[in-house]
Amino acid sequence: MSTAHWILAVPLALFYLYAGALKVLRSPDRLRPMMAWVDRVPLPALRTLGVLELLGALGLLVPDALAPWPAPAAAAGLVLLQLGAIPVHLTGGDRRIGLNLALLVAAAAALWLSVA
C-alpha cells in the first residue's frame, strides 16, 4: 500500500472507530443530539451500523503484508454505507450531508488507493 493510502486511511479509520463505538455503546437518547436520524432506525440496525463501521475501520488498517483483500473490501463497504446514509438524511429532512459526501469521497479514494 502506498503512503497516500495510509495518509487517507488512518484518519478515516479513526473517524469510523469513534462513530462506530458511539453507535454500539451509547443509548439512542445520548446519540440524538448529534444524530437526529436515530429515532427513525431500530436499535438493532443502529448497533449493526456501528459494528460495520468498526469492522470497516479495522479493515482499512490491515496492511497488504498480512492480507491484500481487507482494505479494499472495507473501503468498498464504507462507500456503500455512505451511499445508504445520504438518502436516510435527505428523506428525514436533514439536508446537512456535507460530512457524508466527504466520507464518501474519502472512502472511494481509499478504495482506489488500496487497489492501485
* 55 CB-near residues (< 8 Å, 6+ apart): 74, 77
Structural domain boundaries in the chain: 3-115
For residue 83, what are the CA distances in angstroms to 24, 28, 89, 101? 21, 22, 11, 9
Confidence of residue 3 (pLDDT cuts 50, 70, 90): very high
Question: Under a CB-based contact definition with an 8 Å cutoff, are residues 111 and 72 in contact?
Answer: yes
pTM of structure = 0.93
pLDDT at 1 over 70: no
Lowest mean pLDDT among 3-12, 13-22, 59-68: 59-68
- For 28-86, write each residue's pLDDT tens digit: 999 999 998 999 999 999 999 999 999 999 999 998 778 889 999 999 999 999 999 99
